[in-house]
Amino acid sequence: MRDEDAEREPIIVDDGWPDHSGAADASVPPARRRLFWPLRLVLRFWRQLLALILLLVIAAAIWLSVTAPLSRSLEPISPPSITLAASDGTPIAAKGAIIAAPVELAKLPPHVAGAFMAIEDRRFYDHWGVDPWGIARAAWRNLVAGGVREGGSTITQQLAKVAFLNDERRFGRKAQEMLIAFWLEAWLTKDQILERYLSNVYFGDNVYGLRAAARHYFSRDVERLTVGEAAMLAGLVKAPSRLAPTRNLAGARARARLVLAAMVETGAITEAQARAAQPIRLRVTRDRQMPGGTYFADWVLPAARDQAGAVYERQVIRTTLDRRLQKIAERVVRQNAIADTQMALVAMRPDGQVVAMVGGRSYRESPFNRATQARRQPGSTFKLFVYLAAIRAGMTPDTIVDDSPVTIDGWSPTNNDGRYRGRITLRQAFALSSNVVAARLAERVGRRAVIQAARDLGITSPLGDQPSLALGTSGVTLIELTAAYAAVAGNALPVTPYGLPRAEEGWLSAVWNRPGKLGQRERDMLLDLLSAAVDSGTGRRAALSIDAFGKTGTTQNARDAIFVGFAGDLVVGVWVGRDDNRPIPGISGGGAPARAWADFMAGAIDGAALAPAPEDEPENLIDPVGALVDADNMTVDIDIGPIDLGVTIDGDGVTVSDAAEGETGPGPAGESPPESRRPPPVPAPPRGEPRIP
């Protein structure tokens, strides 16, 4: 049996054919040479590959050593400062940071450092600046979540980024960050790294450093922070601008609960301590030395901070503000504001680029921005969404609608002068700003369709599903409303207002983020309606020598007056009202706001101003086509200072009424009474084709 095995051995080692010569010993050496020569090729390939990788690593190390700021990575970090500049580079505001003395780790309660390590870097004391396990764990969780939910950067890497680099997302910056992290780990102790990190990280509200944050949000020294307070501050680091508790307390508390759970997992606190730490309450300390600025600068600052990446050196951030247009806006507000009232104006391009902003009569007296922070009823400017829903339902500007009294769920909207015109076109109803037609339309197409139209054009504020929705009784901000009209002007929706120049998108991002559009039919008909309101409707005082489109709005008891519209390449919204919400007798969206809008456009767009009336001909106060209401009566609007009066002549004699677009009686139980409108003269007869700018 052994002899047979010996004879078959060469058959297996060689090429599979039996060797009948009996020279088994002679066939062994060649077989071994044929077995190992492929291995030599593989080994040679791997040696060359490793040599190439080593050369690349050396080259990368040399490049990083030259480009990374290692020479200053151990120096003290200077306080951050941002200078905001207009689109032409001219400085418009300087913003300094709120800072305090550095923290000393030995004097902090253990749970303070434990909170930051639990949520940001659990293996802080076990790695050398970069944590492969942390990177792998974050990658796995992001994969399971289907998106980026967790980062793998260590505290050392975060210190390298916020202190010495920008926030640009590219491989070179990440490599520099890792090299600086190794450098910091080599020259500083772990406690020194953690102290620098806690003393300089950004906590939102323009506050840098843990000591300053403790005083700002909780009015206490950092050495006396409670478990809950430490958890909330540690949770802010992920997204300080978005989670700042002064703006988003619910979000900050939710994030703090995650931190507390992480602290329990790491053993920093017990479950009993975590339960006792909630709810976390604020005791905000406002900085008495308010940094200089403007309404626009205050609005754009959070975005500027995010773009700067919390770099700790003076930076100049260029904005979209147009200095020439801003001066015109300030002049218009100064000249048109009515005594004891506020006026706000925001101007943007159709894509949302904000070029001018005035949030009130005086920033020095009141930095509250009424263009971006005040949520007020939009009045009849909201009817844009009602009529868009009607157009989507198949109606046209020539569709006949019923302008007669109606009762909906116990609520009866009224037109201001109590007069109703019966069967009129959709175009006439929009130009007249008929309340009863708007209410009827909303019920006919469905209030949910109206809400969806508003959402499609970019309205994000809560909208009440109630009968008076059609009359604009749900509060929105002026900038939000203006952006919705910009969506119509540029036919790209929704429009997000922005104050910092946008980086050019790659083709893939441009395709993925491609905005929606209105159908050509929808847009043409909306332009038809909006031009009718300016040409012969409630917005006649906004008329220009070029095509203009817009809508007036006046809320109940004349508490708010608004005009929003567009012409050329500008979309502008103007609001007039009082901060205490008291009525302004005689005010209307077709009065002071429309005049201010036209004044701004005339200065902003060459050739837009209307030519003055000839001296030998008195100004015609009556629209030659739209003044005739019917064969027996007509209506004239007269301005007496800020007061707009309507004079109606008919078979019953002469009636003098408030020319404001009006107010209504109480609405359905549980809701505020909506606004109403006094219809202006009937506009021109229907046109066959819509006007397109």
3-state secondary structure of 208: strand
Other C-beta atoms closer than 10 Å to the C-beta of 398 total 15
Model confidence band, residue 72 (pLDDT cutoffs 50, 70, 90): low
Average pLDDT of the residues in 3-32: 46
10 Å CB burial of residue 655 (0-12, 13-18, 19+) is: middle
pLDDT of residue 142: 61
Checking if the pLDDT of 640 tops 90, the result is: no
Average pLDDT of the residues in 376-399: 97
Q: Which helix (H) or strand (E) holds 619?
A: none
The amino acid sitting at 685 is: P
pLDDT digit string (tens) for 587-639? 999 999 999 999 999 999 999 998 665 443 333 333 333 333 333 344 444 55
Judge if pTM exceeds 0.75.
no
Average pLDDT of the residues in 660-666: 41
Nearest to 423 by CA among 411, 436, 439: 436
pLDDT digit string (tens) for 78-90? 556 788 899 999 9
pLDDT of residue 627: 34
High-pLDDT (> 70) share of the chain, %: 72
pLDDT of residue 315: 78
Average pLDDT of the residues in 245-254: 93
Bigger pLDDT: 421 vs 11: 421
Whether the CA torsion 143, 146, 152, 153 is positive or negative: it is positive
Rounded to whole angstroms, the Cα distance separating 486 from 475 reads 19
Average pLDDT of the residues in 131-148: 68
CB of 96 closer than 8 Å to CB of 289:
no
Q: Among 257-271, 612-626, 636-650, where is mean pLDDT lowest?
A: 612-626
pLDDT of residue 351: 96
Checking if the pLDDT of 685 tops 60, the result is: no
The β-bridge relationship of strands 570-577 and 342-348 is: antiparallel
CB of 374 closer than 8 Å to CB of 368:
yes
pLDDT of residue 149: 53
pLDDT digit string (tens) for 99-121? 888 899 999 999 999 999 999 99
Which of 37-41, 289-293, 312-316, 317-321 has the largest mean confidence? Answer: 317-321
Instruction: Write the DSSP string, 62-98.
Output: HHHHHHS-GGGTTSPPPPPEEEEE-TTS-EEEEEE-B
Query: In this structure, what DSSP letter does residue 572 have?
Result: E
pLDDT of residue 16: 47
Bond before 279 cis per omega within 30 degrees: yes
Average pLDDT of the residues in 551-567: 95
pLDDT digit string (tens) for 400-412? 999 999 999 999 9
Other C-beta atoms closer than 10 Å to the C-beta of 122 total 18
Rounded to whole angstroms, the Cα distance separating 645 from 418 reads 15
Checking if the pLDDT of 25 tops 80, the result is: no
Checking if the pLDDT of 445 tops 50, the result is: yes
Across-strand partners of 229? none
Tell me the Cα Rg of the chain: 35
Average pLDDT of the residues in 182-196: 89
Average pLDDT of the residues in 273-300: 80
Checking if the pLDDT of 305 tops 90, the result is: no
Average pLDDT of the residues of the chain: 80
Checking if the pLDDT of 665 tops 50, the result is: no
Rounded to the nearest 5 percent, the helix, strand and coil shares of the chain are: 45, 15, 40
pLDDT of residue 147: 53
Q: Which helix (H) or strand (E) holds 535?
A: helix 520-536
Torsions phi, psi of 241, nearest 5? -70, -40
Other C-beta atoms closer than 10 Å to the C-beta of 119 total 22
- Angstrom CA distances, 150 to 133, 135, 141, 398, 539, stand at 13, 9, 7, 55, 52
pLDDT of residue 42: 76
Checking if the pLDDT of 31 tops 50, the result is: no
Model confidence band, residue 415 (pLDDT cutoffs 50, 70, 90): confident
Average pLDDT of the residues in 181-201: 89
Model confidence band, residue 475 (pLDDT cutoffs 50, 70, 90): very high
The β-bridge relationship of strands 643-650 and 422-425 is: unpaired
Average pLDDT of the residues in 395-424: 91
For each of the domains in the chain, give its residue range(s) and CATH number, in order of start. 81-276 (1.10.3810.10), 330-502+510-604 (3.40.710.10)
pLDDT of residue 164: 61
Where residue 444 falls (left for φ over 0; alpha for ψ -120 to 50; beta otherwise) is alpha
pLDDT of residue 165: 52
Average pLDDT of the residues in 433-450: 96
Measured in whole angstroms, how far is the alpha carbon of residue 222 from the centre of its chain?
A: 33
Bond before 494 cis per omega within 30 degrees: yes
pLDDT of residue 539: 95
Model confidence band, residue 559 (pLDDT cutoffs 50, 70, 90): very high
Q: Which helix (H) or strand (E) holds 314?
A: strand 314-318
Nearest to 309 by CA among 431, 208, 231: 208
Instruction: Write the DSSP string, 397-460.
Output: TT-EEEES---BTTB----TTS---EEEEHHHHHHHT-HHHHHHHHHHH-HHHHHHHHHHTT--
